[in-house]
Each structure stands twice: as structure tokens, then as C-alpha cells.
Amino acid sequence: MSFQNPVFIPGPTNIPEEVRRACDMPTLDHRSPLFGEILHPARSNVQKVLKSKTAEVFFFPSTGTGGWETALTNTLSPGDKVLAARNGMFSHRWIDMCNRHGLNMTVVEVPWGKGIPADRYEEILTADTGHEIRAVLATHNETATGVKSDIAAVRRALDAAKHPALLLVDGVSSIGSMDFRMDDWGVDIAVTGSQKGFMLPAGLAIVAFSKKAMASVESAKLPRTFFDIRDMAKGYAASGFPYTPPVGLLNGLNYASNQLLAEGLENVFARHARIAQGVRAAVGAWGLKLCAASPDLYSDTVSAIRTPEGFNATRIVEHAAKSYQVAFGTGLGEVAGKVFRIGHLGSMTDVMALAGIATAEMVMADLGLDVKLGSGVAAAQQYYRTTTSQPKKAAA
């Protein structure tokens, strides 16, 4: 028997019981036709979640970080110019990976708590008249700060500059939870992992390539073997894999993506938006502020909450784990000790969120912060009871 509480970290997320069962399989010969019956529907489901009609979807036994590497090494060559913005720990790590691969980075430094400045991207791309910049990176949802960036605006910046660079998007903490439009936004590569919106254990990098990104694969000179999508594509063409696939995880992905599509993507996004709004109501009632600088930037999957000056926010996370067996996220990098994070994505309901809010209140009261027990819960309750959680009927 397990009395484990739900986790409130922004990944890995809570795993629904049925998804766990879908991962738990007897050994299956991945060279038998049964494998194709898992692989192909999983690829087509992920394509639908990405709102793409043409993207080539690839799965690697890896994580989101491996997805970044897949994106870079399959499309770029050493010394290639790449434009990126640093506004949190995850965008920072992707830039660090680019540096370690010998790419030539132009980095727009952004205060943590703000989004990607599409206007700066446009200026830089417009000034690059020789089209030396080969790729533009964008982190859709900065999980460290709870900031959502406007990917459509980044696409408009590329188009306004008439620039042919590839648009590579980290959607690790947005895809499957927040609206993501691969085709509409002209995203060339979308990256995610299994353990966030897809509600699975960690272990899969999920990467989708546009036709334009596929066209760069042959000329890309960065070394790659494990993450070479040419080998992966060859495997898929024969309903196979270039090495041993994690069949249980892929079966789980097939199941989980089916569940998201059955709920209806717009319902999934509305559920996340509503849960997040309740959490933000609680934060306001506590008299605290989000790290995200303005409402247009608020993430629907994670809230990074600033604690009062002089208070070490990490104590909240430690105390919650120790005294209440509840997991919240710590602050990372520049905001370490300044924020704690409530993850509210994946398998989450309004009622689960109320439990997380109530726990955060107990913790803050225990630690002597000026937070009245029940204040955040009441604000969230008030929001939840006056809005509906009834999903609209999913389109067939």
C-alpha cells in the first residue's frame, strides 16, 4: 500500500495509475510486428499533440536534454552561428550545450522573470544580412522562472527579417499541457521528454522535425551516432529501431497521448490554465509575487514564487519534504534561494492543487512567514468554485 502524496514539482510529474500499467509490460521482441503497433500510433499521436500534419517524430531512450542534442547535432555544423536568449536555467543549459558543441553563440541576456524579446531577435536577424545565423533557439516555457514566451512572435521576427534560420523550440515543460502549434508557428524542431506533460517516467526524448529541418540533416557536420535521426528513420521505415527501444515507455506514451487526445487538447490546456489561475490566486492572497514579471508571461504549468527578502526559499522545499512528505521545486541558478516552485502540470486536478496550496501554507507558517493559514486555499477555492471544470466535448 502506498500513502504517497502527489508531487508538485514541474517534472517528473504524477503518473496516472493506468499510464503506469501501460508501461509495465512483459518483454516484447522489438523485431516482431507487435513493436510497430506501438511505435507508429505513438508517433502519430505525438504529431497531433504538436498540432502538426507533417512533422517527423523521433523517440530516443534519453531525456529532454538528449532531445536538445538531437536537435543541434542533426542540423548544425561546428562554428555555425546560433541565436538564443538566456532567461532562466533551462535556456542557460541549452546555450551551454551549444558552446560545448563548438557553435558560435549570440546570446541575448534577459532578466530572469522575463520572456524572449522577439523584437531583439528581429533586430539581430535583420542585421544578419549574410544569413550566417543558422538556428534560433527558443525555450517556450522557462521552467526555472515560470515564464512562457511567445513562440508565434519569434516566428514573426524571423519572417519580418526574411531570415531562413531554423527555429528550434524547447517545449519540454509546455508540450501536452499548454498550447503548442508546431505548424502554425513554423517550428522546425520541437523538443520534449516523457516525464512532464506526457505524465510518464523519465526516459524518452521526444523530438519532432519539420520538412525544412529534415533537409538540413545531410549537410550537418556535428558528430552524432546515438542521436542520428537518419538511423532512427531507417529503423522506423522497417517498423523497428536502430538499437533496443524502451518498449514499455513507448507503450505508455502511446496510451498517455491517446488519453490527452481523448480529453481534447483544448480541454487539457483549459484544465491547466484553470488550475494555474487558482494557484496564482493563492499566491496573491499570501501577499507574495511570482517571478514572472507580468500576466502575459505567467506559465500554466509551473509557478515560481518569490519569498520575502532575506528568507531562504529552499527551506520551504526542505521543510515540506521532511514534515509533510510533499515535493515542491527549489529555485535554480540565479533565483536559487529566492523562489520556490509549485509544479501544476500533467496528471493534476483542482482538488489536488488545493492540497498543494494547503501544504505550502502549513510550511510557510511553520517557518514563521507572515502567511495566514487558509488564506491561499480560500482564494483558490473561490476561483475554482466560480469557474467550471467540466470539459467541453472533445472533437471526434
Ligand X SMILES: *Cc1c(COP(=O)(O)O)cnc(C)c1O
Among 6, 113, 115, 193, binds ligand X (CB under 6 A): 193
d(CA 165, CA 81): 10
* Burial class (CB within 10 angstroms; exposed 0-12, middle 13-18, buried 19+) of 324: middle
Pairing of strands 189-193, 329-330: unpaired
Tell me whether residue 148 or residue 163 sits nearer to ligand X (CB atom).
148
Please select the residue that binds ligand X; options are 47, 70, 143, 330, rule is CB under 6 A: 143
Please identify the residue of the shown chain whose CB is closest to the bound ligand X. 64
198 binds ligand X (CB under 6 A): no
**Residue among 70 and 139 whose Cβ is closer to ligand X:** 139
Give the binding range for ligand X (CB under 6 A) out of 14-22, 150-158, 168-176, 267-275. 168-176
- List strand residue ranges (DSSP E) for the chain, in order: 56-61, 81-86, 104-109, 133-139, 141-142, 147-148, 166-170, 189-193, 204-209, 289-290, 302-306, 329-330, 339-343
Minimum CB–partner distance for residue 260 and ligand X (Å): 18
Among 96-104, 137-145, 245-253, 333-341, the segment contacting ligand X (CB under 6 A): 137-145
Q: How far is the CB of 56 from ligand X (least distance, A)?
A: 21
Q: Which residue has the cell 533565483?
A: 335
CB of 11 to ligand X, least distance (A): 5
Q: Which stretch binds ligand X (CB under 6 A): 50-58, 61-69, 179-187, 243-251?
A: 61-69
Identify which of residues 47 and 91 has a Cβ nearer to ligand X in the complex: 91
The set of residues, in sequence order, having a beta carbon less than 8 Å from that of 185 and lying 6+ positions away, is: 151, 152, 154, 155, 167, 169
Question: Which residues, in sequence order, are bridge partners of residue 141?
Answer: 148
Looking up cell 487558509 gives 374
Cell of 327: 515535493
Of 136-144, 181-189, 214-222, 362-370: span binding ligand X (CB under 6 A): 136-144
Rounded Cα distance, 249 and 238, in Å: 20
Query: Is there binding between residue 112 and ligand X (CB under 6 A)?
Result: no
CA distance 64 to 118: 24
CB-based contacts of 360, cutoff 8 Å, min separation 6: 282, 316, 320, 328, 340, 342, 376
Q: For ligand X, which residue of 65, 77, 267, 277 counts as binding (CB under 6 A)?
A: 65
**Nearer Cβ to ligand X (43/140):** 140
Segment lying near ligand X (by CB under 6 A), choices 49-57, 62-70, 152-160, 325-333: 62-70
Name which of 2, 107, 7 is nearest 317 in CA terms: 7
> Considering beta carbons, is residue 69 or 361 the nearer one to ligand X?
69
Q: Which is nearer to ligand X, 271 or 341 (CB)?
A: 341
Determine, following the binding rule CB under 6 A, whether residue 90 of this chain makes contact with ligand X.
yes
Nearer to ligand X, 58 or 90 (CB): 90
State the pairing for strand pair 133-139/166-170. Answer: parallel
Place of cell 523485431: 31
> Which residues, in sequence order, are bridge partners of residue 138?
169
Nearer to ligand X, 64 or 186 (CB): 64
Name the minimum Å distance from CB 337 to ligand X.
20
| Interface size with ligand X, residues (CB under 6 A) | 13
* Residue from the set 6, 64, 278, 376 that interacts with ligand X by CB under 6 A: 64
Question: Is the Cβ of residue 63 or residue 257 nearer to ligand X in the bound state?
Answer: 63
Complete DSSP assignment for 141-208: EETTTTEE--HHHHHHHHHHTT---EEEEE-TTTBTTB---TTTTT-SEEEEETTSTT---S-EEEEE
Task: Indicate the residue among 170 and 350 with the shorter CB distance to ligand X.
Answer: 170
Q: What is the DSSP letter of 387?
A: S
**List 56, 80, 122, 170, residue binding ligand X (CB under 6 A):** 170
Residues making contact with ligand X (CB under 6 A): 11, 63-65, 90, 139, 141, 143, 170, 172-173, 193, 202
